[in-house]
Amino acid sequence: MTYTVLAQCPTSGAIGIGVTTASVNCGRVVPHVKGLLPTLQENGAMIASQSMCNPMLSFKAFELLDRGASFDEIEGAFEQEDEYLAHRQVGIVTVSGKAWAYTGDKCFSNKSHMVGDGYVVMGNALSADCVPAMVEAFEANTGVELGERLLRTLEAGRAAGGQEWEGQSIPEFSCGLHVYDGKNPYPAVDLRVDFDPSAVTKMRRLVDNLRADGDTYFDTFYRRPHEFNDDTMGWAFDLAGKQI
């Protein structure tokens, strides 16, 4: 009961994920990352395991990627180590833009994935139009900053019906948006909404309200503490009167 987009931006080199699901506290297990902080490293990758999530698959994949294993070899290792692999859905995107996905035939119904140039769109327990709409939105937003592009892709999935179980629409209770760009020793975007029946809508409100801050707030703390002043805090006072 999850739909996800993972991608690497060929222009900026940033790597990120947008994920939303009916499961609460999804951020415990999605995504797993390695080699993205404090800078993007050659062996860096981002992995999402969903449907009947097995988080240990991510760590096996990281180990194999470090050895130079192919995606076929990684899938073979998964088959050897996880007797329930048919219940899993897994997507991988690397810092270099390589992408791979697996969808087991025993995942939740209406499951599918699409692997494109530097990206994966995947989901399960969805409306029939969800994944195609996400792919269309991702492709249509080429050149858009990665975090915004990922969120627009999730929004397209939601508008196309989002999660569905036996013909009934299911609300998204969790949403995560995470981007690593190698410019700072912390993520460029690291936002979560949890236990909210309109999680994707709330994520949009968070992103739009925080956009004015950009990187300036923590970047000032980190690089230019002598410049911290009332103007730096202006965005916080602006948010104080808003319902976010």
pLDDT at 230: 63
pLDDT at 212: 63
Residues carrying CATH 3.60.20.10, the chain: 2-198
Kindly report the pTM of this predicted structure: 0.92
pLDDT at 226: 80
pLDDT at 211: 75
Which of the four CATH numbers 3.30.830.10, 3.40.50.720, 3.60.20.10, 3.40.30.10 does domain 2-198 have?
3.60.20.10
How do beta strands 15-21 and 174-180 pair? antiparallel
Strands (E), 107-206: 112-116, 119-124, 163-165, 168-170, 174-180, 189-194
pLDDT at 223: 78
Ranges of the chain whose pLDDT falls below 70 = 212-217, 229-244
Closest among 108, 106, 102, 133 to 120, alpha carbons compared: 102
